[in-house]
A and B are shown apart, each in its own frame.
Chain A
């Protein structure tokens, strides 16, 4: 064999992960992608034909693209609020809190992760009902989702913030920059990778969310996520549900392709 010792090591280390991903992620996704071009679900025991109708439906029927926009809008709100709340918290943790306090605060941030998402959402129904009286409304969905995804924002921002060498900031200050200037010219650009990671980790799952909207949103719950869920669970139209999901995925990838060069330039400058 022509494999060098190095190649073999790399293969041995990465093969389990790739095999696992292929079996558990790529194969089911590929099956769904195939379903999305069929006239009916092959599991239904009916004859199926190839069609592009489901993809056409997304663009021609208002209920789908309008609700896709509603999902994107929700994603923007939730991501923005997570960053507005999470970034300062991460900054404080990385630069101003030390030792045991930091550990304690981290524990508090990660705590929501340890409880089941459904349990968390149902506990919100109690809080939002009584003192606040905003259960079954759009703000209730945003609150529930921000709570679920805020830890991602804090953790990713924290990691890139605490990697910034304090002497850089000190150097800036000693050269006469105000705290606002050092933040804008040094801290913020250097922490950008963390911010970006947070945006991807939050925005993508939020636009596909369906459980939180349904439980907290009442009449405002309709988005693309719940519509896709309805196609799978109540209408048994897996092909349409799959096509709607892949169209959404395609659009997110497209946005990334357009934005990526710009972001890369920003990061290279930093």
Chain B
């Protein structure tokens, strides 16, 4: 030990040196850094893309993740000045804009802005008083995917999730809103304003013998599907493409005849973003065909809001064949924003359903 012992003075000098170095190093770093808040494994954190972006702009991208949209809002509310780019489902953008969590965007800073599909780009979910608060990034569908090795005939109805042939082999997301909307579609109702809530509750309770366990992230979905826990599971279209391509799972995504839940996501800049310029550059890169086509080809992605990007996909890509099919898009019901009161009612209904599972 004594060989390595330092005198008190030299130890202090070293510590002071390290402290100064750490401090200046950090300041120099922050100028070329942005912090992104997103779901894990959802495009913005692709390693190759970040290297590509850093090479182009010199900006380093760091990530923080959320497991639910409420968690994302909570993080924005409780840590202002921490995040630059924040991924947001369209239904939360206006809520966040009203609360002053995200900033109005100068659309001239985004060179790809004019190529974005107008219906998504200028949706009233993103625009308030003529100002954009989010750049439309990707869109997709929520319904279900199945294991082609376990289920031979492609199911075409939501009822497949209730089919006794798949009892104890169904995967479900532990999410009140998504559960209620799927049950609404299955019972032929308007998922944004279902008329018969009791019917939805009974439909969900009937899942007791069907569900194996709940998943809460794409990573969990992949694990449970690979382990054979699920034969069929509620899922997101972009994630399904990723599970098939990147994880090599034998799964197919289905848009059943009853329809599917449609969602579109935007990229926002936090109100007190430390690096708004860097954030804008990153968002523009995210909607660029150069990034998107490689993302969908190599990894699997939801459909891009950039029409030029979708057009460059191979002819057999899910995002061109299925999501690009106008007949499919007609069956989609688009998610609408909901009030806090409704959220609480949904949560209670879902807790009641889950309690009935455990009895």
Please tell me if the beta carbons of A218 and B355 are within 8 angstroms of each other in the complex: no
A74, B306: Cα distance in complex, Å = 52
What are 11 A-B pairs with beta-carbon distances under 8 A? A62-B355, A67-B351, A67-B355, A219-B208, A219-B211, A219-B358, A220-B358, A221-B354, A221-B358, A236-B73, A237-B343
Find residues 185-209 in chain A having any chain B CB closer than 8 Å to their own CB. none
In the assembled complex, the Cα of A181 lies from the Cα of B71 at a distance in Å of 58
Q: Which residue of A lies closest to B77 (CB)?
A: A43
A234 CA to B211 CA in the complex, in Å?
A: 21
Q: Is the CB of A136 within 8 A of B348?
A: no
CB-CB contacts below 8 Å: B327-346 with A: 340, 343-344
A214 to B173: give the CA distance in the assembly, Å: 12
Contacts of B48 in A (CB 8 A): none
* Chain B residue nearest in CB terms to A67: B355
Q: Which residues of B lie under 8 Å from residue A61 when comparing CB positions?
A: 348
Docked-complex contact B347 and A220, CB < 8 angstroms:
no
* Complex contacts, A62 vs chain B, CB 8 Å: 352, 355
Tell me if A66 is interfacial: C-beta within 8 Å of chain B.
Answer: yes
Q: Given A44-B99, A236-B74, list of 13 further CB < 8 A pairs?
A: A45-B77, A62-B352, A63-B352, A214-B174, A214-B216, A218-B214, A221-B354, A222-B351, A222-B354, A230-B347, A233-B74, A234-B71, A236-B343
Q: Give bound CA distance, A231 to B174, whole Å.
A: 13
Scan A221-247; emit 1 where CB is below 8 A from any B CB, else 0.
110000100110111110010000000
A230 — which chain B residues lie within 8 A by C-beta? 347, 351
- Which residues on A sit within 8 Å (CB–CB) of B357? 219-220, 222
**B interface residues with partner A (beta carbon < 8 Å):** 67-68, 70-71, 73-74, 77-78, 99-100, 174-176, 208, 211-214, 216, 227, 229, 340, 343-344, 347-348, 351-352, 354-355, 357-358
Smallest beta-carbon distance B134→chain A, Å: 19
Cβ of A129 under 8 Å from chain B: yes
On whether the beta carbons of B175 and A222 are closer than 8 Å, the reply is no
Q: Which A residues are in CB contact (< 8 Å) with B351?
A: 63, 67, 222, 227, 230
| Complex alpha-carbon distance, A46 and B175, angstroms | 24
* B residues in contact with A120, CB < 8 Å: none
CB distance from A32 to the nearest CB of B (A): 14
A140 CB, min distance to chain B CBs, angstroms? 10
Query: B347 near A235 (CB under 8 angstroms)?
Result: yes
State whether B70 touches A233 (Cβ < 8 A). yes
Nearest to B216 among chain A residues (CB) is: A214
Q: A45-B77, A63-B348 are in contact. Are A234 and B355 (CB under 8 A)?
A: no
The 9 closest A-B pairs by CB, nearest first: A218-B213, A235-B347, A219-B357, A136-B213, A222-B354, A236-B70, A45-B99, A220-B358, A63-B351
* Closest beta carbon of chain B to A138's beta carbon, Å: 8
B347 → A minimal CB distance (Å):
4
Complex contacts, B174 vs chain A, CB 8 Å? 214
B209 to chain A minimum Cβ distance, whole angstroms, is 10
Residue A70 at the chain B interface, CB threshold 8 Å = yes
* The residue from A67, A129, A234, A237 contacting B175, defined by CB atoms under 8 A apart: A234
A233–B75 alpha-carbon span in the complex (Å):
11
Residues of A with C-beta under 8 A to B216? 214
Docked-complex contact B213 and A235, CB < 8 angstroms = no
Q: Which of A62, A70, A235 has the most CB of B within 10 A?
A: A235
Interface hits, A25-80 → B, CB 8 Å: 40, 43-46, 61-63, 66-67, 70
Contact of A66 among B214, B227, B229, B355 (CB under 8 A): B355
Interface string of A127-144 (1 = CB under 8 A from B): 001000001101000000
Query: Do the beta carbons of B212 and A136 come within 8 Å of each other?
Result: yes
What residues of chain A lie closer than 8 Å to B71, measured between beta carbons?
233-234
In the bound assembly, the distance between CA atoms of A240 and B71 in angstroms comes to: 16
Please indicate which of the listed interface residues B211, B227, B348 has the most CB atoms of chain A within 10 Å of its own CB.
B348
B167 CB to closest chain A CB (Å) equals: 12
Find the A residue at minimum CB distance from B177.
A234
Q: CB distance A234 to B347 under 8 Å?
A: yes
Tell me whether A129 and B227 are in contact (CB under 8 A).
yes
Complex: A20 Cα to B351 Cα, angstroms? 37
The interface residues of chain B lying within 8 Å CB-to-CB of A231 are: 347
Contacts of A221 in B (CB 8 A): 214, 354, 358
- Contacts A40-B340, A43-B77, A220-B357 given; does A235 touch B70 at CB 8 Å: yes
Which B residues are CB-close (under 8 A) to A129?
227
In the bound complex, residues from chain B placing their C-beta under 8 Å from that of A44 are 77, 99, 340
- How far apart sit A116 and B73, CA to CA, in the bound complex (Å)? 28
In whole Å, how far is A65's beta carbon from the nearest beta carbon of chain B? 11
Tell me the smallest distance from the CB of A231 to a CB of chain B, in Å.
Answer: 7
